[in-house]
Chains A and B, each alone.
Chain A
Amino acid sequence: MKSVKIILITACLIAWASAGFSQQGRTTLNINYSVNSPMGSFEDNIVSKPSFRGWNANILHGIDDHISIGLQTGFNYYHEKFPRQVYNTKDGDISAVVTNTVQTIPLQAKLRYNLAPGAIVQPYIGAGAGGNIIMFNQYLGGFSGSSKSGFGFAVSPEAGIQIPFTRSGSSGLTIGAEYNYMPFKYADIKNLNNWGIHAGVRFPLSR
């Protein structure tokens, strides 16, 4: 019985693989919900909690069956409220409940490499590089303390899998993880580096 199952699965895989998959010349839109977690000084000094308000999206065009290139953007909102504490200032002190918020909006060129075109589960690796719109706000109690907006650099290597819905493989599920290197210098802040996991769907924009 077990061997019958194996044969059937193998047959399906071969049938799927031989269905003429090709991403070459196709443009797809991939939209993901993402959860990102701060790292390093971002986690230690600004926000330690993960962001559950995030998404990313990319539009990729297939150069060949393995390589696709395009653009990626996204959004993450990080937020943490710290219990009341007394902070030393020059010649004084401030007691306040401090709230930090960070918003990041990367705008990147992206390259993705499909390791197994045509398979049921297609692992991929990729990277995005480009700019990053950053908005940092710090509130002391109900008051705006300091804020800084800027445009920085961002590099985002990633790895994941895509599972096509159909044999042609243009639409499907994507699940992945990425690391975001995001330099940002302001006061004690050195960077907004984070890692994230994402899941979503991709579908074709062209036939």
Chain B
Amino acid sequence: MKIIKSIAGCVAVGIFTLSSCAKDPLKNLSDNDSRIYITNYDSTTSFSSFKTYSISDSVAVVDDGMLQKRIATEAEAAIIQAIKNNMNERGYQLVDKSGNPDLGINVTKIVSTQTGLVSYPSYWDYYNSYWDPYYWGYGGYDYYFPYASYVIYQVREGALSVDLIDLKDASGDKTIKGVWNGVIRGQGIFNADNAAAQVKALFDQSAYLTTVN
């Protein structure tokens, strides 16, 4: 009986000790290392068929699922400028939104304090209505992404989302198709100093995004 008690005691102490041996795997992760860059695209789209684009001059802020405002502070301006630089480098020409752009670019800052699972395209079911097609002169159109991403993430610090939507082919069936979507998540993503490098990362991993085939 004494032995059984000793054994039970040792097992209990052992199992208790187990939990203290694992370290926090993300403890020493730098802000830069914490950031992830996700891009998805419609593989049926030929990106060289687009020549011109227009980009919103402000960033939509979605906070806990609600559109709060559209802002154009230094950080947002830096992101928009970085997108323009990369689009221009890939051969696309910036035009005014009244100049019949082939592509429209929406930038959304998603601030979320909730922890929950967000997946694509359910992510877009949730947020796309905040980018009303009226902005692009297409009242009454649906805005959708034809592809599904495979990853489900836990939302912690929020996200910065860049969408390319196909305005060139929008008039056909009352829908606007999203053809490319870049999402940045992690620490420091809303910092103006990081804007250029972050946007470049999205474009670097999307070599197909070019007017040249």
**Smallest Cβ-Cβ distance to A83: which chain B residue:** B33
**Smallest Cβ-Cβ distance to A80: which chain B residue:** B25
Q: Does A195 contact B (CB under 8 A)?
A: no
Q: How many residues of B contact A (CB 8 A)?
A: 43
In the complex, chain A residues 156-207 whose Cβ is within 8 Å of any chain B Cβ: 205-206
A59 contacts B7, CB within 8 Å? Answer: yes
Please give, as numbers and ranges, the residues of chain A lying within 8 Å of B48 by CB-CB distance.
none
What separation, in Å, do the CA atoms of A96 and B39 have in the docked complex? 12
**Smallest Cβ-Cβ distance to A59: which chain B residue:** B7
What separation, in Å, do the CA atoms of A92 and B150 have in the docked complex? 9
Please give, as numbers and ranges, the residues of chain B lying within 8 Å of A205 by CB-CB distance.
3, 6-7
A73 contacts B14, CB within 8 Å? Answer: yes
Main secondary structure of the interface of A (DSSP, over half): strand
Q: What interface size band does chain A fall in?
A: 35 or more
- For B147, give its contact among A84, A86, A91 (CB under 8 Å): A91
A141 contacts B25, CB within 8 Å? Answer: no
What separation, in Å, do the CA atoms of A99 and B27 have in the docked complex? 11
Q: Does A57 contact B (CB under 8 A)?
A: yes
What separation, in Å, do the CA atoms of A142 and B157 have in the docked complex? 10
- Looking at the assembled complex, report how far the CB atom of B145 sits from the nearest CB atom of chain A, in whole angstroms: 10
> What residues of chain B have their CB less than 8 Å away from a CB belonging to chain A?
2-3, 6-7, 10-11, 14-15, 17-18, 21-23, 25-26, 29, 33-43, 147-151, 153-154, 156-157, 185-187, 201, 204-206
9 A-B pairs whose Cβ atoms sit less than 8 Å apart in the complex: A89-B149, A89-B150, A89-B151, A91-B147, A94-B37, A94-B151, A141-B29, A142-B26, A205-B7
